[in-house]
A and B are shown apart, each in its own frame.
Chain A
Amino acid sequence: MTATTVPTSSPVVPRPARRAKRRSAALGLLAWAAGLAFCLPALWMLLTSLHAESDAATNPPSVFAPLTLDGYRAFFGADTGVTPWPPLLNSLGASFFSTLLVLLLALPAAYALSIRRVRKWTDVLFFFLSTKMLPVVAGLLPVYLFAKNAGMLDNIWLLVLLYTSMNLPIAVWMLQSFLADVPVSVIEAAQVDGARLPTVLARVIAPMAAPGIAATALICFIFSWNELLFARVLTGVVAQTAPVFLTGFVTSQGLFLAQLCAASVVVSLPVLAAGYAAQDKLVQGLSLGAVK
């Protein structure tokens, strides 16, 4: 910023300009250093996952040890025959179906809150938000008791319902703010041309809000995939999710560091991909649409 402002104030001040430039370069380097420092543990995890077990747990660390995929092979059950596929698929299923259900419930609600506004729409919005602030532990026991009596323990569909309730408020907020960005004039123009509501929704609103809807879906997917407490309490063997599998992994296999890092990388991979893809909308989602 400094570099661009100097010429406007006066064209002949070379020395402060040069100093500003040098300062700017130094701050850029500092930003790079900070970025690398923050990413270092994650990069270390990746590197360790690619080392042989004998090179992984050494002191001082063996950074330049030969790379191998043995950790990944071991994680996928090459030695023990215990594969992580069922938990990974459970996580995928629970996250996918709850995201789908969230969108089905949240899209109409967001429509009513942004385009065809119900009265007192802000109050309704804040009610949605307030449910998100209710700590999960406060409702966990009744849910557990209900599931136990209804024979729904260790059932992936119970997780789908709970993850839906967990993400619905966020989705309503996000979608509300994305739909509100669709210009009213475009909607009205379509209506003047004789388009009816379903057509307007499908042909005008959905395409214009598509990036926002996609970002909402990704964020809901990430939160469901990450969830541990519900999954830990309410699932056992059959419906075990990837995070629960990870926590049990260390105790059941003993500690193999390379394998553990490989497991962490594999489990985090979908979230990393989704998160990088939704980077720009991530802030808006995480701040519940309050920040653009």
Chain B
Amino acid sequence: MTTAAGTSAPVSAPRTPAPTPGKGRRRAWATRAPLLPALVFLIVVTQLPFVATLVISLFDWNSLNPDKRAFNGLGNYASVFTDAALRDSVVTTVLLTAGVVIATVVLGLALALLLDRTFFGRGMVRTLLITPFLLVPVSAALLWKHALYNPEYGLFNGALSWIGDLFGDTSPGQPDWIADMPLLAVIAALVWQWTPFMMLILLAGLQSRPAEVVEAARLDGASAWQTFRHLTLPHLRRYLELGVLLGAVHIVQNFDAVFTLTAGGLGTANLPYTIYQTFYQAHEYGLASAAGVVVVIGTIIIATFALRVVSSLFSEEANRA
């Protein structure tokens, strides 16, 4: 953030004339005024509730037992880290996020490289590819749960029996996908939904690569792999980081897929789902709030990196302007 502030002075100079000292203050407020409604709105609607969450997290408060509400200090935080279910959901969150992000980056990069070439119907393929990302998340989760994963008539097992039939195997394996591999099932559905997002960002990165440099490398006799390894990949680094971090911030918060596919069962409850359950079903307000604060701290760690990446991309852009 400080680096961003550092670049702001030279960049904004050509846009705004230097404030004259006399009427400077009134001018400054006139410039600032259009910004205020949005700022005030955001502070009230997002920051205040979080402060309230911080306060609630210090209380022992179950809404079914309102009389027993009492100050509990950091007790709830101790519970968050000792409670087996909550600890498990921390592990689940990490596995889920890491699994989805790694898989989507690899797949997204492969697809972006394929699409960064001219071929017949490229626009159409791009449209096909982004479709998973444009389905309403709940629809997508229901689709995977009932139309694809269902052990009796889902498409996956249907395809297995069809292929089995083809090879004369009358009773091919019919796994119960969600029951047999719950976390993997959630990850697969999310990878399907989020790969287009990574692809779009990486494709933008590929297309912002200066064509002359690539051309020059080719003329100098660099192989495709050398060009990729020494030119494309370094250029894509920022975009990869951006994709990873924005993806991570979204996947950490995922609720829809976990809620719909497994309802948090079979060891797939991630932190957002567990928090939802802790306060919505168990009515443990203090505990849920403490867990919420823990999620925020985790997200801040990711977000700090994300902000730095966005900031560096952004100041590059500003310097060019």
Residues of B within 8 A of A116 (CB): 15-16, 31
Residues of A within 8 A of B65 (CB): none
CB distance from A1 to the nearest CB of B (A): 6
B264 at the A interface (CB under 8 A) = no
Q: How far is the CA of A9 from the CA of B215 in the complex (A)?
A: 10
Q: How far is the CA of A180 from the CA of B321 in the complex (A)?
A: 9
Q: What is the interface of chain A mostly: helix, strand, loop, or mixed? A: helix
Contact: A228 with B255, CB < 8 Å?
A: yes
Contact: A228 with B256, CB < 8 Å?
A: yes
Q: How far is the CA of A139 from the CA of B118 in the complex (A)?
A: 47
A198 at the B interface (CB under 8 A) = no
CB distance from B126 to the nearest CB of A (A): 8
Stretch at the interface among A77-85, A149-157, A207-215, A283-291: A283-291
Number of interface residues of B (CB under 8 A): 124
Q: How far is the CA of A28 from the CA of B116 in the complex (A)?
A: 10
Contact of A283 among B161, B204, B314 (CB under 8 A): B204
Q: How far is the CA of A247 from the CA of B293 in the complex (A)?
A: 28
Q: How far is the CA of A151 from the CA of B119 in the complex (A)?
A: 58
- Binary flags per residue of A48-83, CB closer than 8 Å to B gives 1, else 0: 100000001111110000000000000000000000
Total CB contacts across the A-B interface at under 8 A: 344
Contact of B34 among A45, A111, A276 (CB under 8 A): A111
By a beta-carbon cutoff of 8 Å, the part of chain A in contact with chain B is 1, 5, 9, 24-25, 27-28, 30-32, 34-36, 38-39, 41-42, 44-45, 48, 56-61, 105-106, 108-109, 111-113, 115-131, 133-146, 161-162, 164-165, 168-169, 172, 180, 184, 222, 225-226, 228-229, 232-233, 242-243, 246-247, 250, 255, 257, 260-261, 263-265, 267-268, 271-272, 275-276, 279, 282-284, 286-292
By a beta-carbon cutoff of 8 Å, the part of chain B in contact with chain A is 1, 4-5, 7-8, 12, 14-16, 28, 31-35, 37-39, 41-42, 45-50, 52-53, 56, 110-111, 114-115, 117-122, 124-140, 142-144, 146-148, 150, 152-153, 155, 157-159, 161-162, 165, 192, 195-197, 200-201, 203-205, 208, 215, 218-219, 239, 242-243, 246, 249, 252-253, 255-256, 259-260, 271-272, 275-276, 279-280, 285, 288-289, 292-293, 295-296, 299-300, 302-303, 306-307, 309-311, 313-315, 317-318, 321
